[in-house]
A = this chain, B = another copy of it.
């Protein structure tokens, strides 16, 4: 009963513009105070439990080469490129079926590629507990112990104990602030961080039960064993699969579902604000990279990410709580509190047909 990992590495590359682009989404960036990309850090983090040869990555077809380059220790055949984005249920179904071909007795850890986890020992311990629940037949999730009444995440309400895991009473969508506050106060709500652990055969059966169209599609995709014919089948069938999340398609309909509360220093690296929080900073709270000069300012992220940093200089004076990012072909400036609005730049560039900068 070997452990496999599936790292979900899609992403449209808008929230970290101009560092992120369609061809260089967030998981391919060095954002969390590390020399590694978020994807490489995810592979490293899981390595004590899952060796590289059992790590799979599902990404967008257009990112196949970039993803292989970013995770060179993984087997190229284990990096799957989706012909079209279809949300997470087809992603999980495909990877599960592919792993079952190699290991009928597999247990699978599904992880996002673009989060940060500060407390790796606690993360690995939570995964070990979740694996125990999964091996006894539960579709298991890691639920993050909330640290604030965040309205940007879904929540999981848990109930009674199942070994060292908990039963799941319900999944709830992103709440209003007052509702989120009541969840945090109640103490039995966790953030849904998109980390799942299950026996591959259990997931196959759950998909067959709750999403028979998806199951049938994946069977057709993989019916050919000849690589060229299989590639053709994937290209034909995958885009027709139902676009639905694994949460809605399977998790919320499962009866044998468990959650392991995890207090692991999780951060979804959701915006430049998160990047500033995670970055190492000087005594004035400034995070500087490249040929950046920050005078009389505090609590800024000032990143010169150009490939030839000494060909130019990025200099700021008197800034507070600002994000300034300089790449080879763009400059973005915004207050940290406007970090979510960087996508408005991407929308404006798209609206005016400026695809070179997307």
Instruction: Point out which of A315, A319, A329 has the most chain B C-beta atoms below 10 A from its C-beta.
Output: A315
Q: A309-344: which have CB < 8 Å to B? A: 311-319, 322, 324, 326, 328-335, 337-338, 341-342, 344
Which chain B residues border A342 with CB–CB below 8 Å?
317
Does A186 touch B at the CB level, under 8 Å?
A: no
A333:B322 contact, CB within 8 angstroms: yes
A295:B333 contact, CB within 8 angstroms: no
A331:B326 contact, CB within 8 angstroms: yes
B341:A316 contact, CB within 8 angstroms: no
Does A348 touch B at the CB level, under 8 Å?
A: yes
Does A279 touch B at the CB level, under 8 Å?
A: no
B313:A333 contact, CB within 8 angstroms: no
A354:B313 contact, CB within 8 angstroms: yes
Closest Cβ of chain B to A221, distance in Å, is 40
B333:A324 contact, CB within 8 angstroms: yes
Q: Given A295-B344, A338-B296, decide whether A349 and B315 contact each other with a Cβ distance below 8 A.
A: yes
B318:A330 contact, CB within 8 angstroms: no
A interface bracket (residues with beta carbon within 8 Å of B): 35 or more
Q: Given A295-B344, A296-B341, decide whether A335 and B315 contact each other with a Cβ distance below 8 A.
A: no
Nearest opposing residue in chain B for A318, CB measure: B338
Does A345 touch B at the CB level, under 8 Å?
A: yes
Closest Cβ of chain B to A308, distance in Å, is 11
A319:B335 contact, CB within 8 angstroms: yes
CA distance A28 to B341 in the complex (A): 37
| CB contact between A312 and one of B17, B313, B331, B348 (< 8 Å): that residue | B331
